[in-house]
């Protein structure tokens, strides 16, 4: 499993706009081989968000970044004036996983 996260700092008073843009966008992720799930996470600190996507493996994520689905999903409204700066990207390979009701396993 592979996880990609982007940390966003949203300008004060712009959280509703940020969430609306994400909820209304067409992500095209449902058409991407290897995509497992997505969540936009709201932090406890005002304006703190993380986009969290889970993939079967790094190759699936990298293929998506080169795809038409990626270009279409990122062609939506601009976040200029909503973000306080560019997102900070973090990429992770799973070392140990556990599903509900199951034992943990080393990847």
How many domains does the structure of the chain reveal? 1
Distance CA 107, CA 103 (A): 13
pLDDT digits (tens, 9 = 90+) for 18-66: 999 999 888 888 889 999 999 999 999 999 999 999 999 999 999 999 9
Asked if residues 94 and 2 have their Cβ atoms less than 8 Å apart, the reply is: yes
| CATH code of the domain containing 6 | 3.30.70.100
Q: What per-residue confidence (pLDDT) applies to 35?
A: 95
Query: Strand (E) positions, the chain?
Result: 2-9, 35-42, 48-55, 88-93, 96-97, 105-106
Domain of 76 in residue numbering reads as 2-106
């Amino acid at each position: 499993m592979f996880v990609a996260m982007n940390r966003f700092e949203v300008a004060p008073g712009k959280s509703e706009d940020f969430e609306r843009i994400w909820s209304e966008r067409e992500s095209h992720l449902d058409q991407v081989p290897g995509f497992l799930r997505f969540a936009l996470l709201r932090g406890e600190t005002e304006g703190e968000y993380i986009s969290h996507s889970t993939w079967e493996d790094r190759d699936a994520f990298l293929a998506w970044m080169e795809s038409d689905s990626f270009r279409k999903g990122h062609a939506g409204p601009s976040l200029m004036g909503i973000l306080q700066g560019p997102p900070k990207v973090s990429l992770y390979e799973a070392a140990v996983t556990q599903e509900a009701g199951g034992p943990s396993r080393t990847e």
